[in-house]
Structure formats: C-alpha cells, structure tokens
Amino acid sequence: MKIRFASPAMPKSGVLVLMVAEGGTLSPIAETLDDATKGLLRRAMSKASFEGKKDQTLELVLPEGAGPDRVLLLGTGDPEKLKARDVELMGGTIGGVLLGWKVKEATLAAAMAGKPSLAEPDVAALLASGVKLRAYSFLKYKSPKANDRPKLERATVLVDQPVAAKRSFAPLEAVDDGVLLARDLVNEPANVLNPEEFAGRAEGLKAFGVEIEILAPKEMKKLGMRALLGVAQGSVHQARLVVMRWNGGKDGDPPVAFIGKGVTFDTGGISIKPSSGMEDMKGDMAGAACVVGVMKAVALRKAKANVVGIIGLVENMPSGSAQRPGDIVKSLSGQTIAVLNTDAEGRLVLADALWYCQDRFKPKFMLDLATLTGAILVALGKEYAGLFCNNDELAERVIEAGIETGEKVWRLPLTPEYDKLIDSDIADMKNIGGRNAGSITAAQFLQRFVNGQPWAHLDIAGVGMDSTKNAVNQSWGGGWGVRLLNRLVADHYEAVGK
C-alpha cells in the first residue's frame, strides 16, 4: 500500500476521512467542509447521535459539487488523552471501514480539534501506519476470479507539516514491513514453506544489509546439534539453522539476540496429534517468523544496535526414520535428553539454538519466541503471551514494550521446585514434565541451555497464530512480536549519537 503526505486541501472527489473530538467538536478542515455544505455535517451528526466518542464512525454522502463524494467521520474521544497506540488503532478502524466500502484510495485529514497530546505530524504517521497494517490480506492462493475485489491501494494524509510527517512515518513503516513479512510467513501453507524454503525467504534480508549464514544438517551434525536434528529426522525436508546479523551498533559491542522456533509443520511426530485442528500447525513457526520480521524492521530503519537473529527450522513428521518416544539425544551443550514425547519438539530445537547463540555471540541478552505449549492457552488465552525470565530488569523492559505496542505479556514463575519435574533417571533431563505446569516446565527445560546468560522466553502459542483480532490486524497470522521486539531494541539497546 502506498502512503503519501500532503498539505491540507479539500479534495474535489473521492473519500475524505475527518476527525471529530468528543462532544462533536470538528477539526478545522471539517469546519470548512461543514460551512461549505451549509451545516450538513452537524445536522447529520445530530440526527445520528454522533458525539465524537472514541472509534465512533459516521458515513456521509455529499451532494455533487460539494467536494469529496463521501465523508467518514471518526470520533477521537478526548484528543488530550490519546496515546500513540490509540491513534494507530484509529488508523486501523479507518482502514477497516474503507475496506468495507471497497475503495482503492482515500484521503485522511490528520488535524484534530482542541489540543491533542501528540503533534500533528506524529498523528498523521500513526494513522497511516494503522491503515497500512489493516489493509493487509493474504490472498495469493485465491484464483483471479475469486480475488477481484478492490483493495485499498493508496492513502493521502493531509497534514500541516508533510515533510515532518513523512520523517515520523519512516521508522513506523519499517516496522510495518517487518510485521507484514512475518504475517506472510505464518500464513503460508506448509507444502510451500518447508525449512529449505523458509531459509531462502530469510536469505532475502541480504538486500537490506543483513548478514546471513545458513547451516545445513552436515554442519549442524558436526557441531553436535543432535537435539534439533532429532526432530527433523522423520521428514524428507532437511533442517536448517539460519543466523541473521544486523551490525548497526558500535564495533565490538555485544549484540542483543532473538531466537525463534521454526517448526514449519508439526504433526507431533510418532506422538501424533489429533487430526482435528492439525492444519493450524503450519503456524508452529510463528516464533521464527517474528525473528525474521524484526530483523527486517531494524535493518530498514537502520537501528543503531547490533542484533542477532537465529531460527531453527525443522518439520516434525512421523516416518520410518522418525525419532521415537524413549530415544535419548545428546544436545550441543553436551547434556542428554530423554525424549518421552515427540510432540514436545520445539524445546529440542531451541535447546541447540540457544546454546549455539550464547556460546558464539555472548550477547547482552537472549530472547526466544516459540509457539511452545497448549498449556499457555489454558492459562492466558489469546490476549497475552507467557513471559519467563531469569533477569528482572529484562523482564520489566519486555513487559513495558508489550504495553506500549499492544503485544502484551504476562510473567510466570521459574523456580527450582518446578525444575525437578524434568529430571530424568536415565538422562540429564526429559523433555516433558507431566500434566501440571506444562508451560513452566517447558521454560525450565530451556533455561538449562542459556548457561547463565540474561534470557527471556515468550510462549506465544496463544498469540502467534489465529490470535484475537484487533483494529490493525484481521489476519490469521498477525505477525505478533515484531513490534514488541523492535520497541525493546529502540528504547533500551540503541547507541546514542552513532
């Protein structure tokens, strides 16, 4: 979708979106249009009991020659109380209405009545970001006949300082592009997006200045990544480990590191899942999709930080060569794992990826994302991701970034009492801990592979795919986490003045 910013001028046709503050107070450009139409806007607002409450909308069709053909009035509530997230969601609400109208382009006036809490160029940028995110759709597999509905392709945002608005929009657009990439990856079917293809998509980040390394099974076996390779051994599609590096910080400054679970399809292996709902397991790589998306975002906005992204890519299939319940594998760390359930596979992939990351890069912190346990859905539903962390400062920063971006997390405990549940009599540990506290024991398992490094784990099984829809996302794959991780980097880990 193309976005442009322009100085305020009344359009002579098409769709115009105007802001109305709580109490029915019109913005300056809305006042101008109301005067030109002899009070049409105010009469319509009165008849429809439109009071400018937050997210309230009203559609008007104007008489010929009055300027725009159609007008959308959007209530802002009290402009003095608006936060950045509120304005972006308003943009999403606008985008949703325009998609329903089946228009290809529209004009948005960013001006608000009163004294908004945000500067007008920032309002314009946030509205544009919300519209762009909401305009996303994944229709590449629809036939041309079934996919002939008009799409929202262009939006012009009217603002007093268009150059400043464009400057404010640039970093938002970079993050939006990362989110949309993550959405595409999660939405792809598994017969297309296997580990090799996923690695190829990640390699496309080279075009934006990201350094890429791709490890094949031969290299991983030589290193000793037998936990990860054990998950992949039942599939005809070979595993890949992708290492992405953005070097935007000071030379020698330790990076921040993001690690993603990338199970491109999860049947459960020999411990096979029930058939009902198994089609959703194409999304079991949402953690890896997020990591690729945030690497694109930091590269596009040229973040002043060193960032490493690592994704372990496998397909978990049952076959004559598949890993069996009861097998014991030796991980890259040297620790042995009794695999009691082959459907607890994501933690095996992350075990080797986490150890590889801390051993090679010595990062400031590691944060992994994984659609890891159904238990987190029971605990938190689809509103929050589960956060597990061994460092209070890092945990608070992740929580804060989640609040600011709307990608909320809830911290859950890590204690030695839970750790005992995954001890094994025949190996160093087992990969399941029983029915109780399933998300916690999964996190306790991962903690054994961070080697004391500051670390956070996000269990995103409830939010990474088929999550709760909102104003800026109506897609099955929402690209969850890209905005959160980008905000975490931007707020706390970028070099000042580089």
Catalytic residues: 273, 347
Strands 240-247 and 211-215 turn out to be: antiparallel
Strands 327-330 and 366-370 turn out to be: unpaired
Structure tokens at 56: 């309230």
Residue with tokens 């943009």: 91
**Beta-ladder partners of 57:** 74
Structure tokens at 298: 């930091």
List CB contacts of 108: < 8 A, sequence separation 6 or more.
16, 17, 91, 94, 124, 127, 128, 131, 155, 156, 157, 158
Structure tokens at 113: 């009545």
- From 213, 446, 218, select the one nearest 346 (Cα to Cα): 446
DSSP code of 295? H
Number of residues in the chain: 498
Structure tokens at 480: 């969850």
DSSP string, 303-344: -SSEEEEEEEEEEE--STTS--TTEEEE-TTS-EEEES-TT-
Structure tokens at 491: 């707020």
Distance separating alpha carbons of residues 375 and 378, to the nearest angstrom: 5
Residue with tokens 């990856």: 185
